Structure 1
Amino acid sequence: MVDSEEFSINKSKAVSMTEDFTSGVWSEKVLVITQDYEIRGYVFMPKTGKKNRVLSDILNGVKRFVAIKDCEIKHRLIPERRTEYHSFLQLNLSSIILLRPVADEN
């Protein structure tokens, strides 16, 4: 069992790690179309290159999957199915038909 003091320490470490992570990456809100789904969420890339190359770097990189955070998933083939919301999703790059930036509504 974790006591409240230990929980507070671990929580503050997690917040610190999140702040460190987000300060070292570019984020981009995107729309991803696959054969079955329409996905909106955020992708991230290290701040090693130019911000305007985030999406092309993801598609042309050596990794086979892209991580998408805070995503909304709509079913294209069965539109009456409820929209799903997930905090994290790994998507295989070979399933992407279209990937484009979208304006952030906030």
Structure 2
Amino acid sequence: MLKDILIGNWILDPLDIKSLQIYGDISIEFKDNGELIYKIHSNEKDEVINMTYEIKDEGILITDQPSFPYKEETKFKITFEDKLELYFSGLKSTYIRKFDY
């Protein structure tokens, strides 16, 4: 199932300079229960945004932030290199899996 391939931790690809300039140092975690944890990392303190997600059709990710309800649709794909590409507002950002050892 496509949802299963998203589950886990993803960090913004350090080679994606444009996205790093726009979004900063971020990571996202997809959980199998539909939770999405979006983190903005900084030297002082990480900002955590708790969200939910679902997959509408193949390649369409729907996210919602319960504390400020508004559903967003984002196109996505998993590349052959096992990278996650998100297409949001006309911009592509690329994420790599973060493995915790």
- Higher RCO (C-alpha under 8 Å, 6+ residues apart): 1
- TM-score tier, shorter chain, comes to 0.3 to 0.5
After TM superposition, the score normalised by the length of structure 1 is: 0.36
If each structure's strand is expressed as a fraction of its own residues, which one has the higher value? 2
If each structure's helix is expressed as a fraction of its own residues, which one has the higher value? 1
